[in-house]
Structure 1
Amino acid sequence: MIDLRRLQLLQALDQHRTVAGTAEALHVTPSAVSQQLASLAKESGVALVERHDRRFLLTGAGRVLLERAHVIFAEMERATADLHAYSAGDRGVVRVGAFSTGISDLIAPALAHLRESHPKWSFEVVQAEPEASTEMVRTGRLDVALTMSTSHMPPAGDPEFHTESVMVELFDAILPYQHPLAARTHLHLSDDLAGEDWIMSAPGTAWYSCVTGATNQAGFQPRVVHTVDDFSAVFALVRSGLGIALMPRLAWTGHNPPNVVVRGVRETARRHIVALTRAGASAEPLLTAVREAASKVPVPSVGPFAVAG
């Protein structure tokens, strides 16, 4: 492999034609120039210069190499400029992962904003569920993971990772339009929903853990009659009058399914959305843009705790 510093020396020799002139231009000794030229010839395997008295001229091979060197030096200058821009926060390449609704409601609008405010930044989005996010950040498959504060997160104080809070996401009740509770402006978790048929994801999932954690604290176990993982299936089951669901807010925003209402719930389940990076890394400017998107997530608007969907 050819040393870039020796390519710079060859470029200087082509300009000054003498060892003394090259040494003066590069602020090194003439003997250092001679040694580096000999090493460059050994690295390349061909003669790169010809001596004519005190002057040195490039051979054909030397001119071919120097043509490539100009391209290499230009790319190095651009790379250096990019690094300076990155250090100033004006440029970056980021691989970001998130769960599905995090992508649609937070990452997508954040990146749309960053295309305008930080046009030189490049982002690659990967769907990553909470149970896989920590390992993906650890191994470098992701630079930033938008994830949930669950048992899959690294323990507090882990020196390998850094976390930043993004938002606290509340869970809202999804009811059939004809349900008696649909006329209410707000609901209580235990008083109003304990006796209902519930639609929920399977045990072990983040959704199930969040909801059952809240219902256990409220003093009851939900009667789960339908187990699904897809939120569109939840809407279909609720719309058909087959049960109710306590759904994370990001899951219903952007949807307007017919014959379904959304109601806020007191003492509801909630989950903490966080940005996970390796220790020492920064999630900016993505984190600021994601928080801005989070601030625009719709909330129940009928009364202090409720909305019709």
Structure 2
Amino acid sequence: MAPLDDTTPATRFDSFDVYRTWYKKIGHHEIEVGILVPKNLKPGKHPLIVKFHGGALVLGDCLYPDWIAAFFVPFMQRNSAITILPNYRLIPEHSGKDILEDLQDFWTWLSNGSVTDYLRTQGRADLDLDHDHILVSGESAGGYMALMSALTQSRGTIKAVLAQYPMTNYLRQEPSDTHFGLPSPPKSLLYDHLASIVPGTTISSAVPPLRGELPYLLAAYDHYLTYFGKDEQMWPIGLIGEKSYLPPTLIIHGGADSIVEAEDSRMFVEKCKTLDGVEVKLEDRAGGEHGFDIESKEDEELWLKEGLAWVESKWLASDS
């Protein structure tokens, strides 16, 4: 087994028992959810992490290890946390309204004790989930899902948020010859994909590199909102103005992010500061590209060590 603080995508889950089930059906299509339980976890009640995957709301999968930062492994392990990782429907086959419907259905499923019931069928009746201590997290599009969870679920459901370069606003790109260091895909690929969509098909998982060209193409050629929808309240930057509360939140964003603009996180944090009693921290890392923290380690990055300690203090705080 790889050391907890030095895993690679191939070894990211070595120290966990990994489960996969579903939380919702659309016809015969199961929208799946992953569950990570630390190996040798002692019987009893354990705090929860809900972690959403990235992928611009266009691709990704709940148990795709490459986008789970290495620092998350020791973070989950030392807190004896059970981590729940939901899939959700993806654009352009589906809309932002569909995605947010899945988000609500997931939280309803979780609150109904469904994870405990499932784990019992897997011989894990010794585990109890501490629903009073839920941390919600995600990177990029997963950060969007985390923040929208915090803004839409009833106060007290979520104790803290950890969002890595979250999409607080819709994806925006300028057409260019290169994208993320590679030649940009041709516009024709977008129209080929759109023409191939079969009405009624449900897409809730796409393991990279599948669909990897679509986020850029949808954004660069002004089709992202065509499929997601144009309601500003479906984005954290629009919804926060209608809210009076957000759980304690740490946002990590690289200042040189070429996919999700760091300025979006800055603007979101400024809006949060107008709300009384809201605790939001922005770790704005100069020069950081999208996904810059994937291989980061706490012992090598003081800002990360301090940030995670702050998140733990809010997530695991006693209500007494």
Compare the two structures and name the one with the higher helix fraction: 1
Report the TM range for the smaller structure's normalisation. Answer: under 0.3
Q: Structure 2 length as normaliser, TM-score? A: 0.27
Q: Structure 1 length as normaliser, TM-score? A: 0.28
